[in-house]
Chain A
Amino acid sequence: MAHVEPHVDYVLQTVSERDVGLIRMWFTDVVGQLKSFAITPAELENAFADGMGFDGSAVDGFSRTVENDLLVQPDASTFELLPWTDRHRSDRSSTEARMFCDVTELDGTPHPGDPRQVLRRHLDAAGERGLSFLVGPEMEFFYFAADHAAAGPTPLDRGSYFDLTTSDITSELRKRTIHALEIMGIPVEYSFHEDSPSQHEIDLRHTDALSMADNVMTFRLMVREIALEAGVQATFMPKPLRDVQGSGMHIHLSLFDDDHNLFADPSDPLQLSSTARSFVAGLLRHAAEITAVTNQLVNSYKRLVTGSEAPSYVTWARANRSALVRVPPTRPGREDSVRLEYRSPDPACNPYLAFSLLLAAGMRGVDEGYELPTRTDDDLSLVSDAELAARGIRPLPQSLAEALDVMESSELVREALGDHIFTWFLRNKRTEWAEYRAQVTPFELERYLQTW
């Protein structure tokens, strides 16, 4: 690959010109936790040439029974200086940088447990058909007082949706975060105070799915780091407070063939092409199967309850915000912005795997010409179970255990993730569920201790 050279040269030169003291090698484990180890500039050339070795047994999803020595191969095109390193590490005068890495075996073949390469495989396959898959997530999260362990999560403000709370520390944090994001080349589309106290939303401007998954990983770290500097805890836990909306990660999806938006058809009343309709049909038919990945925590399912803004049924709609797939209205003539919004995921998902499965489910619909079911524009919280069943409206899985059962039977998910991640994920998450089941919760104590 002749084009690699100038990238590498660029990184080496920049490291020396800018006095970069440490280069952080970032990669992601199967559950979507960012892993990092640092190397010095002296090791950098070697890292590009031969990769850097590490012990895979320490990382979720990379462990094997026989061979645990693995390599990370830095992706030079993702080299960025870390804007917050200069400020808060007073013990070090030099700057830090990071690169995302691919995880490989010692012979350079992709490791089957590397989520980044799973997504790359899907995007390469789409690319061979001339397709680019663009995504734009809306990231929701909470800020809490950092020392909340005893009292439970303590909101830092009482603001709500779109409130202008200028004096507020959390709004200041959000502003600082957005500035740092822009410096990192992660443009922000909108940002505002969300519905719930201390809840904020930052919408990232759409880009190709691989860059966006990298961006989501960077984003989660930056939000946390910048909050921590101010003594505040930021969390992407899907449902930290019982009585208010949880944090979602609505994902806007579009599919382009070069400069042509394949989801748009100006002659259609909804401006939706037949490709878009089949894609939505694919998302809907396989929604339950991919839910364990888009909503991977026990806690995720406490957000997906009826009556909240989070979807709990497999439906699509134009404006209805309780639908799983929404087709946001676009102004006539703005074909480029015709897109789909998939609303069940939460920000604690692994973005590489979530984007992979959304693309796989949608493309299955396109390739097999799935028929789009009718639209559901009414509020389903007012509709009886019997009527829902009569209308053929299925619920999303209601617990992690149920989601895992559906996933286990899914040929689509197994194929899309590969056997290694598929098996590992199910085993890991079954353990999480088993540990949860063994808990005695405050709910049970309150409800049963006195009564029985």
Chain B
Amino acid sequence: MGPLLVFPDLPIEVARALKDSGRDFQTVDGASAERHLRPDEGWIAAVLSAGPSLDRVVGFAKDLRTDLPDIPVLCVVAESEVERLAGHADVFSDFCVAPLREHEFFFRLERLVRSSEDAVGDDDALIVYGPLMINPVTYQAVLDGDPLDLTYMEYELLKYFAQRPGRVCTREVLLGQVWGYEYYGGARTVDVHVRRLRAKLGEPHAGLIGTVRSVGYRFGKSQWG
């Protein structure tokens, strides 16, 4: 995995400590710089320092998530702004209050990095969420022990969701990550397929895929409780 992404920068003593810990990082001042400098192997995680403007960081994080939906994002935020984070549960993975306490910062950062490394492991492993089991080797999905009859795109969408329980997925991210090529329905395609998937999951399980109003969808329970 590549270096840590930092936006726009970190207090000098934290940056120094990062370097000492042997963790590579790259600062960027905006979305275009991020895209320009993005390493082939991807960022291991992102640290976004809100400074005086949380909105600027939210904007950057949303852009980032559109391209890299799975990147763990740690937000460094002033105490007075913490409350506002709740409205952005879909873009941040965790947060730290500024001024940073070094131990807490490193503890949270390493936890995120580990989760990111875990996530890229085995593509062939069984995916299990409650009554749902997906076998990526045979392309078969089983719900409550009964096989689901899915088209290929329905299968891919369900697999994508099930690999990210609790995560909010925007339509744009789903289109880019699950479809990633031509399709006839535009952004509506996602809604149409989610509706089809819910129908096939059947009444008792249709709620597995929740709608997050004017944002997108979430599979399973929210990671924020």
List the interface of chain A (C-beta within 8 A of B). 3, 6-7, 9-11, 13-14, 17-18, 76-81, 83, 123, 127, 132-134, 182-183, 185-187, 205-211, 256-259
Contacts and interface: CB of A to CB of B under 8 A. Distances in A.
Of listed A3, A17, A76, A185, residue having the most chain B CB within 10 A: A185
A77 B138 CA distance: 17
A351 B81 CA distance: 55
B139 A13 contact: yes
Contact of B184 (A14, A76, A187, A209): A209
Interface size class of B (residues with CB under 8 A): 20 to 34
B182 interface: yes
A207 B140 CA distance: 25
B22 interface: no
Nearest to B155: A10
A83 B149 contact: yes
Given A18-B149, A78-B151, A127-B182, 15 more contacts: A3-B181, A9-B139, A10-B152, A13-B138, A14-B140, A17-B138, A18-B140, A80-B151, A183-B149, A185-B154, A185-B196, A207-B185, A207-B192, A211-B185, A256-B186
A13 B155 CA distance: 13
A324 B217 CA distance: 38
A18 B147 contact: yes
Contact of A259 (B151, B152, B181, B187): B187
B200 A185 contact: yes
Of listed B139, B147, B181, residue having the most chain A CB within 10 A: B139
A79 B186 contact: no
B82 interface: no
Contacts of A256: 185-188
Nearest to B179: A3
A17 B155 CA distance: 15
A11 B152 contact: yes
21 contacts: A3-B180, A3-B181, A10-B139, A10-B152, A11-B152, A17-B139, A17-B140, A80-B149, A81-B149, A123-B184, A127-B182, A127-B184, A134-B188, A182-B199, A185-B151, A185-B196, A205-B195, A207-B192, A208-B189, A256-B188, A259-B188
Contacts of A185: 150-151, 154, 196, 199-200
Of listed B139, B151, B181, residue having the most chain A CB within 10 A: B151
B62 interface: no
Interface pairs A-B: 5 shortest CB-CB: A208-B184, A132-B186, A208-B185, A259-B187, A182-B199
Contact of A77 (B140, B153, B192, B200): B153
A296 B65 CA distance: 50
Of listed B140, B152, B171, B182, residue having the most chain A CB within 10 A: B152
A259 B140 contact: no
A6 B123 CA distance: 15
Contacts of B154: 185
Contacts of A17: 138-140, 147
Nearest to B203: A182
A94 to B, nearest CB: 14
Contact of B188 (A11, A81, A132, A186): A132
Contacts of B196: 185-187
Nearest to B189: A208
Contact of A7 (B152, B187, B200): B152
Contacts of B147: 17-18
Contacts of A127: 182, 184
B178 to A, nearest CB: 12
Contacts of B150: 185
A132 B190 CA distance: 13
Nearest to B181: A3
Of listed B147, B149, B180, B200, residue having the most chain A CB within 10 A: B149
Given A76-B152, A79-B152, A185-B154, A257 B199 contact: no
Given A13-B138, A17-B139, A79 B182 contact: no
A187 B196 CA distance: 6
A7 to B, nearest CB: 5
Nearest to A209: B184
Of listed B151, B156, B181, B184, residue having the most chain A CB within 10 A: B184
B136 to A, nearest CB: 10
A304 B189 CA distance: 34
A76 B147 CA distance: 20
Given A76-B152, A258-B187, A187 B199 contact: yes
Nearest to A185: B196
Given A13-B139, A17-B138, A182 B184 contact: no
Contacts of A207: 185, 188, 192
Interface in B108-161: 138-140, 147, 149-156
B207 to A, nearest CB: 16
A77 B152 contact: yes
B189 to A, nearest CB: 7
Contacts of A7: 152
Contacts of A13: 138-140
A182 B153 contact: no
Contacts of A208: 183-185, 188-189, 192
A133 B183 CA distance: 11
Nearest to B171: A259
Contacts of B189: 208
Nearest to A254: B188
Contacts of B199: 182-183, 185, 187
